């Protein structure tokens, strides 16, 4: 492995205004198994303190540092430098309004998440201890509950790029599916009612960029297909 790596990073400064640009950096490899976030931290701490990005846990759990890395979305903290073609091109998540450098406005993304009511809705009284599930019912949620809402899938989706104001996007739909699959939830019918819409759900054309981008190895395309099957089963 090289001792120095090349990066090109998207820069935008709202105070300066003007067009965004790509800025080159050289970073020494300072530890084995170095991740992209380590390189960004090196730049911020040693070369240019104005470089702005989000990060928190640094180990792929919080979902803060989603960004476009060499053309594919992913989390900087769990993307090894070793596998990346240089110069590593780092850009903000696509089709988002850029606040500064790699920091984007996620308001709309979380509004869409909120719109699928991602919480347990149940009328029946809470049992003395807890709402129980069989191991099989619990296993239904595997592949959905692990979502950390980093936004890598939704901002990778061309359908969402062109119709993001109406199409809910892979992340929100994966979450909708997660609650529709949940045996304890009692609002399944209303949830399906809300989703049956040519724009909110049926903009998905199996492009599968969401599946390719998901840093947690989940499959939002499969979740969306499951929603479509459920809607079809309900109506036929």
Q: How far is the CB of 228 from another protein (least distance, A)?
A: 7
Dihedral sign of CA atoms 224, 229, 232, 234 in order? negative
Binding mask 137-156 for another protein (x = CB under 8 A): ------------------xx
Q: How far is the CB of 206 from another protein (least distance, A)?
A: 6
Which residue in the set 161, 183, 184, 185 belongs to the binding site for another protein (CB under 8 A)? 161
* Positions in 100-129 near another protein (CB under 8 A): 104-105, 107-108, 111-112, 115
Give yes or no for residue 94 binding another protein (CB under 8 A): yes
Dihedral sign of CA atoms 160, 155, 215, 168 in order? negative
- Cα dist from 36 to 55, 75, 159, 168, 179, whole Å: 12, 9, 28, 30, 34
Q: Is 10 helix (H, G, I), strand (E, B) or coil?
A: strand
Give yes or no for residue 86 binding another protein (CB under 8 A): no
Tell me whether residue 128 or residue 165 sits nearer to another protein (CB atom). Answer: 165
Dihedral sign of CA atoms 227, 230, 234, 236 in order? positive
CA 30 – CA 203 distance, rounded (Å): 45
CA 198 – CA 82 distance, rounded (Å): 42
* Positions in 175-234 near another protein (CB under 8 A): 193-203, 205-209, 211-212, 217, 219, 221-222, 225-226, 228-229, 231-232
- For residue 67, give the H/E element and its range: strand 66-69
Q: Is 147 helix (H, G, I), strand (E, B) or coil?
A: coil
Applying CB under 8 A, the site for another protein has a residue count of 68
Chain contacts with another protein (rule: CB under 8 A):
10, 12, 14, 17, 19-20, 68, 70-72, 89, 91-99, 104-105, 107-108, 111-112, 115, 155-156, 158-159, 161-166, 168, 193-203, 205-209, 211-212, 217, 219, 221-222, 225-226, 228-229, 231-232, 235-236
């Amino acid at each position: 492995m090289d001792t120095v790596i090349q990066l090109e990073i998207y820069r935008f400064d709202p105070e300066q205004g003007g067009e965004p640009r790509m800025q080159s950096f050289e970073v020494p490899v300072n530890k084995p198994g170095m991740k992209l976030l380590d390189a960004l931290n090196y730049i911020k701490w040693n070369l240019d303190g104005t470089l702005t990005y989000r990060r928190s846990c640094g180990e792929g759990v919080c979902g803060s540092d989603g960004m476009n890395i060499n053309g594919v979305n992913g989390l900087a903290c769990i993307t090894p430098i070793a596998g990346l073609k240089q110069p590593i091109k780092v850009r903000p998540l696509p089709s988002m309004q850029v606040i500064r450098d790699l920091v984007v406005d996620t308001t709309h993304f979380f509004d869409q998440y909120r719109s699928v009511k991602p919480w347990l809705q149940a009328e029946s009284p809470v049992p003395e201890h807890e709402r129980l599930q069989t191991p099989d019912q619990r296993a239904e949620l595997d592949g959905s509950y692990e979502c950390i809402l980093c936004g890598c899938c939704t901002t990778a989706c061309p359908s969402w790029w062109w119709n993001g104001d109406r199409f809910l996007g892979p992340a929100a739909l994966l979450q909708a599916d997660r609650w529709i699959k949940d045996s304890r939830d009692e609002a399944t019918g209303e949830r399906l009612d809300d989703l049956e819409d040519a724009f909110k759900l049926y903009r998905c054309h199996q492009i599968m960029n969401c599946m390719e981008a998901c840093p947690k190895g989940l499959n939002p395309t499969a979740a969306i297909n499951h929603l479509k099957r459920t809607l079809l089963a309900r109506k036929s």
